[in-house]
Homo-oligomer: A and B are copies of this chain.
Amino acid sequence: MGELKVSRKRKKKNTIIDVNGVKIGGKNIVFIAGPCAISGKEEIIGIAKALKEKGADMLRGGAFKPRTNPYSFQGMGEEGLKCLKAARDETGLPIVTEVMDTKDVELVAKYADILQVGTRNMQNFSLLKEVGKAGKPVLLKRGMSATLDEFINAAEYIAAEGNNDVILCERGIRTFNTYTRNTLDLSLVPALKEKTHLPVVVDPSHGTGVRSFVVPMGKAAVASGCDGLMIEAHVDPEKSISDKDQTIDIDEFGRLVEEVRKVAKSVGRG
């Protein structure tokens, strides 16, 4: 893998990505939080303010939603992007949101600070190429059964287009386990840190699918060496459009930030 642009062999120093002043990949642990899906402007602004107060560094939320069933709510689309923009205008929090179609990359890039490529599209190579040209950092989620090598090569698809600002996100893999929705594979964090120079974040919400596991696994993720956490949080988790079993409320998010910061300090992070 010595020849890949994302490889540690090609660049020894960690890549630090600056997103409107929030640095990811450096000393500080970055907290990216928000609801699964956007459902209205006032709501998302309220969530963003509450999360910021508790320590969130960036806001996540879906305007285009990948749903297993074609008749499920597919997201607000551009309206949702506008809601996110309003929340950023209000709070200053940079926005992370998913893009699912090559045709929508330009549109989403107009509003988002970070383009998210979701788990189901990790090997949608056309989309990877397109986001590689969009001039915005990309948060790339690992596929449900992607190998280390496939994940790194998916990042390389983006880098190959000239965009080195790729954030890798571990979010759990498919195994025989049913006590969790996915099996969070934290060994991937030191592995990615050895093989690549890119920032690595962990999503313990999707990675477990169980609300009470989000805080302990968030702490474990940071102890394993990751650069940030991606958390599903909502002022009222029961109102989440999807994924409510794994969504924590604002107070729990506050507790998460507090506890994770102690662990971060114990491993030499800010």
Contact = CB atoms under 8 A, between A and B. Distances in A.
Contacts of A220: 186, 189, 220-221, 223-224
A263 interface: yes
A160 B267 CA distance: 41
Contacts of A174: 145, 174, 176
A212 B19 CA distance: 31
How many identical chains are in the complex? 4
Contacts of A188: 179
Nearest to A222: B223
- A interface, size bucket: 35 or more
A202 to B, nearest CB: 10
A128 B66 CA distance: 12
A229 B106 CA distance: 40
Interface in A218-251: 219-225
Nearest to A67: B125
Interface in A180-195: 180, 183-191, 194
Interface string A126-149: 111100000000000001110111
Interface stretch (A33-41, A54-62, A150-158): A150-158
A102 interface: yes
Interface centre among A68, A128, A263 (most CB of B within 10 A): A68
Nearest to A104: B126
Nearest to A118: B123
A30 to B, nearest CB: 18
Contacts of A100: 124-126
A178 B102 contact: no
A187 B183 contact: yes
B223 A263 contact: yes
Contacts of A177: 147-148, 173, 185
